[in-house]
Structure 1
Amino acid sequence: MRTVALAVTDGMLHFELSVAHEVFGSAPAAVTVPWYDLSVCGPATVPFGRFRLEPDHGLDHLQHADTVIVPGWADADVDPPAELVDALRAAHAAGARVASLCTGAFVLAAAGLLDGKRATTHWAHTAALAARHPEVEVDPDVLYVDNGSVLTSAGKAAALDLCLHLVRLDHGSSVANAVARRLVVPPHRSGGQAQFVTAPVPARDDHPLTALFPWAIERLGRPLTVEDLARRARMSSRQLGRHFRARTGTTPLQWLLAQRIRLAQELLEQTDDSIDAIATATGMGTATTLRRHFNRTLGVPPDSYRRTFRSRTHHDDSGTEQPGA
């Protein structure tokens, strides 16, 4: 998935377009894997606030991209341009992976790419998407949906989550985390996390979970219970559950499992440790437990995940490409 094309026309939302350009436009300094070849495709000129955007290619170039990103569509009540819809159909038919950000889902739906599929968009527009396109299974409660060759995200910050998800699919967890660090955002929010979280960012540094998160992450290799977390946060288990739901949209145990899976991904990519050793380091206990949770979460067993990302081309200190182990 080396080539990424942004499909732009008059009526695209600026934030989502900028998010995609920031993620796929350049690699973080510490990343040495070959990065994406990004292009902007659209009409000769596209209004962009007070400026005018000059695309690199016309919309017909979308069919030559490995991945096509459709930013948010400003007016969900207006049909997207026919030339854009036709270009997306042609790109998908040619084998491109197509992803929409926010209300860009309306464009994918107009192209028929979401027919019979589960999809999402900004929570404020999910009812409209379901009403206009009853053939689409609209899920209003998730950050993004991955159908393989067609992906959709919820609004604003969830667009960044989906872009990082694509980087993680292509280059692994370590590289996606490096991109997240550059952007100063959480490295991974699961697509199944709820869109509407009452307090996504604590308003104060003394929020009861602010210090708990790094404390727990440093101890993933140890057996941690809800009672352990509650004791550290100096609250009851019931109070902890309420704070976790409001802060992360999930439960303490689900959050812990997600952190352990994330750590397992990094160890599989970066070390030659055995599956048993990684199971111990991540607090999973046994290789059997790790394989079960890893496969259920990511859809592949740890061994296959390691082969996928350890076999990617890497660079030695001289910058010469070497075959991966």
Structure 2
Amino acid sequence: MHRIGYLLTDGFQVLSLATQAVFEFANQIAEAPFYSIENFSPDGGMVRSSLGLAMETRPLEAPGLADTWIVVGVNDPVKTETTSAVLDFVRQAGNQARRTVGICTGGFILAEAGLLTGRRATTHWAYAQALQKRHPEISVDVDRIYIVDGPFWTSAGMTAGLDLAVGMVEKDLGAEVARSVAHKLVMHQHRSGGQSQHSEMLDLAPKSDRIQSALNYARQHLSRALSVEELAGVAHLSPRQFTRIFSAETGQSPAKAIEGLRLEAARLMIEQSRHSLDVVASESGFRDRRHMREAFIRGFGVPPQAVRRDARQVVAKRGESLDIAD
């Protein structure tokens, strides 16, 4: 049996406990109690979450109580101090356990314990810069759903923890069980660790329905040229009014926002499909492959080929085949 210990501290983010359902359903699908789960805290007893929900826990005694330790994050790791006792325990766990995991901002505790030195890691996008500033010895990748570097797993924020947990099940019990678990949880798609946690539409966050409608229209028609006049017509505004209101609500010009949507669409196609880069460029509305490359370097700092290589590496680690044209 694989023992999983959740380490909870005061103010822990309650959504992280949803990942326990992944292991529950894995047991059901495997028709055997492969995983056992227990909640721990520094002193044991009742620990309150950020929502105020109290959870009964066992006291931390020895790292050997679990094969995998999952450190749960808090809503604001910058304002939360971690006790030396917790850091000492996590440090020992990192040296002894099969896996040590930081869900969401739980990665801050792994970093403070020195477990991520010289490694790649991720965390909630809102705190990635703070993590990198505090720990320049870590390569923080803000744009990953989760990262596995040796025995240390870290995830992006909130629901990304579910993807990480399904990834653990895939590692332990195989791809078929993992797919079944994702299906049971009504997860639209099990996102691999290499996928982006960034959403251009969420970043734009327009305040009015008319600008939202124009953005929805643009995303549905990215494969063709989109003029300000066309988008203004969808929003029932003059081009001048549209440009002014769009910039005020999103903080970007229409042209800049559309390029961001094209980049996001192209990146997802590169990560998830077998299409050649020429096809990706055409489908996402770039003039040609060269134009897409220039936009990728400007927007992401890397060319499309680098994103494709990352996607191939993720697939290779999962033991699948993916024939992708260059």
Q: Secondary structure at the match of 1:54?
A: strand
What's the counterpart of residue 252 of structure 1?
Answer: 269
Deviation (angstroms), 1:197: 1.6
Q: Secondary structure at the match of 2:273?
A: helix
What's the counterpart of residue 45 of structure 1?
Answer: 46
What's the counterpart of residue 189 of structure 1?
Answer: 191
Q: After superposition, give the CA deviation of every residue in 1:2-33 in whole Å (9 maximum; x if it has no partner).
A: 111100111211111x2222222443644325
Alignment match of 1:81 (pick from 80, 83, 106): 83
**What's the C-alpha RMSD, in Å, of the aligned pairs?**
3.3
Q: 1:244 to 1:19 in 2, by over 3 A?
A: farther
Distance 2:164 2:53 in 1: 27
What's the counterpart of residue 63 of structure 1?
Answer: 64
Tell me if the contact between 2:7 and 2:69 (Cα under 8 Å) persists in the aligned partners: yes
Distance 2:3 2:45 in 1: 21
Deviation (angstroms), 1:161: 1.1
Whichever residue aligns with residue 20 of structure 2, its letter is H
Distance 1:132 1:296 in 2: 28
Deviation (angstroms), 1:61: 4.1
Whichever residue aligns with residue 70 of structure 2, its letter is I
What's the counterpart of residue 167 of structure 2?
Answer: 165
What's the counterpart of residue 72 of structure 1?
Answer: 73
Q: After superposition, give the CA deviation of every residue in 1:10-60 in whole Å (9 maximum; x if it has no partner).
A: 1211111x22222224436443254311111112221233442111x2122
Tell me if the contact between 1:121 and 1:153 (Cα under 8 Å) persists in the aligned partners: yes
Distance 1:37 1:110 in 2: 27
Distance 1:193 1:296 in 2: 9
Deviation (angstroms), 1:75: 2.9
Distance 1:166 1:101 in 2: 12
Deviation (angstroms), 1:87: 1.2
Distance 2:225 2:191 in 1: 23
Q: 1:173 to 1:300 in 2, by over 3 A?
A: closer
Greater Cα radius of gyration, structure 1 or 2: 2
Structure 2, unaligned runs of 5 or more: 203-211, 227-258, 276-310, 322-326
Which deviates the most, 127-136 or 26-35?
26-35
What's the counterpart of residue 20 of structure 1?
Answer: 19
| Structure 2 counterparts to residues 260-275 of structure 1, below 5 A | none
| Bigger fraction of residues in helix | 2
Tell me if the contact between 2:103 and 2:157 (Cα under 8 Å) persists in the aligned partners: yes
What's the counterpart of residue 316 of structure 2?
Answer: 298
Tell me if the contact between 2:195 and 2:271 (Cα under 8 Å) persists in the aligned partners: no
Q: After superposition, give the CA deviation of every residue in 1:191-248 in whole Å (9 maximum; x if it has no partner).
A: 1222212348xx99xx89xxxxxxxxxxxxxxxxxxxxxxxx9974789x9878546x
Tell me if the contact between 2:120 and 2:138 (Cα under 8 Å) persists in the aligned partners: yes
Deviation (angstroms), 1:62: 3.7
Aligned length: 240
Q: 1:167 to 1:238 in 2, by over 3 A?
A: farther
Whichever residue aligns with residue 8 of structure 1, its letter is L
- Identical pairs, percent: 32
Distance 2:129 2:267 in 1: 24
What's the counterpart of residue 31 of structure 1?
Answer: 30
Distance 1:62 1:238 in 2: 58
Q: Secondary structure at the match of 1:141?
A: coil
Q: 1:90 to 1:63 in 2, by over 3 A?
A: farther
Structure 1, unaligned runs of 5 or more: 209-232, 259-292, 304-325
Q: Secondary structure at the match of 2:26?
A: coil
Q: 1:127 to 1:189 in 2, by over 3 A?
A: same
Deviation (angstroms), 1:294: 7.1
Whichever residue aligns with residue 66 of structure 1, its letter is D
What's the counterpart of residue 9 of structure 2?
Answer: 9
Tell me if the contact between 1:63 and 1:96 (Cα under 8 Å) persists in the aligned partners: no
Whichever residue aligns with residue 195 of structure 2, its letter is Q
Distance 2:53 2:320 in 1: 48
Deviation (angstroms), 1:114: 0.8
